[in-house]
A and B are shown apart, each in its own frame.
Chain A
Amino acid sequence: MIWQNSEQIRHTLETTFNEILDKRMRELPVVNFALSVQAVGFSRFGEDWLGVLITPWFMNLMLLPGADSTWREQQPGIKIDKHFPYGAFEFTLGREAQIGIYALCSLFSPMFQFENQAAALAAAESALQGLLAETAPRAVSRRDLLRGAIGKGNR
């Protein structure tokens, strides 16, 4: 699969994983029905496309290969290391008929701690921003968190 733009990627991922949800996952107790499939980001990062995929049963960092990605010919199940401004992450390769080869790094699974899609989306966006931020995100103390001293802009 040759990926052209973010729009195409998000559409393909959402279509594919909605089908997986309907056909293979729906009856399983790992599904949080308050959530839906949503692809977040998927702009270029080096040779690859980087984004976060939210589904009712997992949230992963996800890479899709560009034409020059060295790992596009690798086998599913293989692990690769990727470096980001935030640090090094290990990705596992997978393959799906409509998507081809992709790389994932788990953030959450299952997804029961998210009450709704807005919360899942906020977590996905903050993870994606954190990953690409030049300086590592500030550690938030529990005291600050409870006093509401962080995230003033998005309360």
Chain B
Amino acid sequence: MNETFYDVMRRQGITRRSFLKFCSLTAASLGLSPAFAPKIAHAMETKPRIPVLWLHGLECTCCSESFIRSGHPLAKDVILSMLSLDYDDTIMAAAGHNAEAIVDEIVEKYKGNYILAVEGNAPLGEDGMYCIIGGKPFVEQLKYAAESCKAIISWGSCASWGCVQAAKPNPTRATPTHKIPGLADKPIIKVPGCPPIAEVMTAVVAYLLTFEKLPTLDRQGRPQMFYSQRIHDKCYRRPHFDAGQFVEHWDDEAARQGHCLYKMGCKGPTTYNACSTMRWNEGVSFPIQSGHGCIGCSEDGFWDKGGFYQRLTDINDFGIEANADTVGGTAATVVGVGIAAHAGLTALNRSKKSGDKQTGAEQQ
């Protein structure tokens, strides 16, 4: 019961060498300097593992799919044992009453000390009958588990914003975690994306477990280290945007040359996520690299923002206010030269490599 992460990993047959490698990879994906690897290793060797309850509401399981395919070479062995996923109805062995008993057991045994991960959301329509877990509406299980948890992770766009099941007219009244009425007041980390990037998911959990505190969140509750920049800011096709070189039709010469997909409806200029830096499938590629525009899946209400192939056209589309660091709150228009100078510095800090930012994960 008082096992450490390291004990668990050793029991699973993971060598010390692999363990240390995992620690440096985790430090890297958190944007921390290599000097943090020993710190992570130390935490994992000495701290008792923290149980994670992973609940599923209305969802498609793409978050779980993404998570268990994390790109770290060791992920398939390490992550699952390390995170101690005591309850995850998709990947646990228990079923039926045995499975539901685990929820009670964790809530009782680790009161105030477990992480509640929520994949999907709760439909509130018809008293929650559109999503029933173990004979009861999911929203009840969610509230019950939230009552005694330490912090909540809202996995994916469903739990963070609502996603497709909350798209207009939202017949089941699917509701993201932070908007559930009567939910216990616990810190909520939103990790949006449909699904989120695997490495982002594992890094967020690893951060929580090793440092025992929340990563720095932006105003919308997303970890700053992964959601402070737009796809557009770090896109490898950005020089083509700047130079006005655009794909006009699918498979035209510009498409073959890899020009900018803005005119084909790419939502990169309005989407905050790490795809253009971390990429997918162990850093192999991301949608734009395979020739398709970004659909903006990590943004609030992305299903209701027009077609995937519809061009961003006006100032409101670009959501100037979207960045959490923007001067003076929402929809700020830079009016004076003094404020513009501040905006320049803010942009500079935002563009910095994540391990180097002034306010961020590295401040321990």
Chain B residue contacts of A107, Cβ below 8 A: 344, 347-348, 351
Q: In residues 62-115 of chain B, which contact A (Cβ within 8 Å)?
A: none
Q: Taking A87-B353, A88-B356 as contacts, is the C-beta distance between A112 and B340 under 8 angstroms?
A: no
User: Is A137 engaged at the interface, CB distance under 8 Å to the other chain?
Assistant: yes
Contact with A along B327-364 (1 / 0, CB 8 A): 11000111111111111110110011101111100000
Residues of A within 8 A of B340 (CB): 114, 118-120, 122-123, 126
Known: A20-B244, A77-B258, A88-B353. A113 touches B358 (CB 8 A): no
- In the complex, A90 has a CB within 8 A of chain B: yes
Let me know if A45 is at the binding interface, CB within 8 A.
no
Report yes or no: A20 in contact with B243, Cβ–Cβ below 8 A.
yes
Closest-CB distance, B2 to chain A (whole angstroms): 40
Docked Cα-Cα span, A28 to B238, in Å, equals: 16
Q: Is B240 an interface residue (CB 8 A)?
A: yes
Give chain A residues whose Cβ lies under 8 Å from the Cβ of B320: 112-113
> Are A92 and B239 interface neighbours, CB within 8 A?
yes
Contact, CB under 8 Å: A105 / B336: no
Is the beta-carbon distance between B318 and A112 smaller than 8 angstroms? yes
Can you list, as one digit per residue, whether each of A116-148 has a CB less than 8 Å from chain B (1) or not (0)?
001110111111001100001101101001101
Q: Are A94 and B242 in contact (CB under 8 A)?
A: yes
A1 at the interface (CB under 8 A from B): no
Minimal Cβ-Cβ distance residue in B for A20: B244
| A57 and B242 alpha carbons, distance in the complex (Å) | 8
Looking at B241, B333, B335, B338, the one whose CB has the most chain A CB atoms below 10 A away is B338
Q: Taking the nearest CB of chain B, how far is it from the CB of A42, in angstroms?
A: 16
In the assembled complex, the Cα of A21 lies from the Cα of B244 at a distance in Å of 8
**Which of B138-146, B176-184, B228-236 forms part of the interface with chain A?**
B228-236
Distance to closest chain B CB from A121 (angstroms)? 8
Known: A106-B232, A150-B342. A29 touches B313 (CB 8 A): yes
Residues from chain A with a CB closer than 8 A to the CB of B269 are 30, 109-110
Which A residues lie within 8 Å of B238 (CB)? 92, 94, 104, 106
Q: How far is the CA of A39 from the CA of B242 in the complex (A)?
A: 14
With A29-B313, A77-B258, A120-B340 already in contact, the answer to whether A88 and B352 are too (CB < 8 A) is yes
Residue of A nearest to B337 (CB): A122
Contact residue among B233, B240, B332, B352 (Cβ-Cβ distance under 8 Å from A113): B332
Flag if A127 contacts B237 (CB, 8 Å).
no
Contact A125 to B341, CB < 8 A, known contacts A113-B334, A155-B336? yes
Cβ contacts under 8 Å, A130 to chain B: 344-345, 348
Size of A's binding interface in residues, CB under 8 A: 64
Instruction: Please report the C-alpha to C-alpha distance between residue A109 and residue B243 in the assembled complex, in whole angstroms.
Output: 13
Q: Who on chain A is nearest to B313 by CB?
A: A29
Rounded to whole angstroms, the CA-CA distance of A60 and B232 in the bound complex is 12
Residues of B near A10 (CB, < 8 A) are none
Decide yes or no: A94 and B358 within 8 Å by CB, A119-B335, A148-B338, A154-B337 being known contacts.
Answer: no
- In terms of DSSP, what is the predominant structure of the interface of chain A? mixed
By a CB distance below 8 angstroms, the chain B residues around A78 are 236
**A33 interfacial contact with B, CB 8 Å:** no
Is B262 interfacial (CB-CB < 8 Å)? yes
Q: What CA separation (Å) do A142 and B326 show in the bound complex?
A: 11
**Given known contacts A88-B356, A119-B334, A127 and B342 CB-to-CB distance under 8 angstroms:** no
- In the complex, are the beta carbons of A151 and B342 less than 8 A apart? yes
Q: Which residues of A contact B242 (CB under 8 A)?
A: 55, 57-58, 60, 94, 104, 109
Contact bitstring A32-50, B, C-beta under 8 A = 1, else 0: 0000000000000000000
A6-44 CB mask vs B (1 if < 8 Å, else 0) is: 000000000000001101110011100000000000000
Kindly list chain B residues whose C-beta atoms are within 8 Å of the C-beta of A64: none
Assess whether B243 is in contact with A96, with CB atoms less than 8 Å apart.
yes
**Is there contact, CB below 8 Å, between B356 and A126?**
no
Q: Which residues of A contact B358 (CB under 8 A)?
A: 136, 139
**Chain B residue with minimal CB distance to A142?**
B328
B110 to chain A, nearest CB (A): 38
| Extra pairs beyond A79-B236, A94-B240 (9, CB < 8 Å) | A24-B246, A88-B356, A92-B239, A102-B239, A109-B232, A123-B347, A142-B328, A146-B328, A154-B337
Q: Which 4 A-B pairs have the closest CB atoms?
A: A94-B239, A24-B244, A123-B344, A126-B344
Chain A residues at the B interface, C-beta cutoff of 8 Å: 20-21, 23-25, 28-30, 55, 57-61, 76-79, 81, 86-90, 92-96, 102, 104-110, 112-115, 118-120, 122-127, 130-131, 136-137, 139-140, 142, 145-146, 148, 150-151, 154-155
Please, could you name 7 A-B residue pairs with CB atoms under 8 Å apart, sorted by A?
A: A20-B243, A30-B318, A57-B242, A109-B242, A119-B340, A123-B347, A148-B338
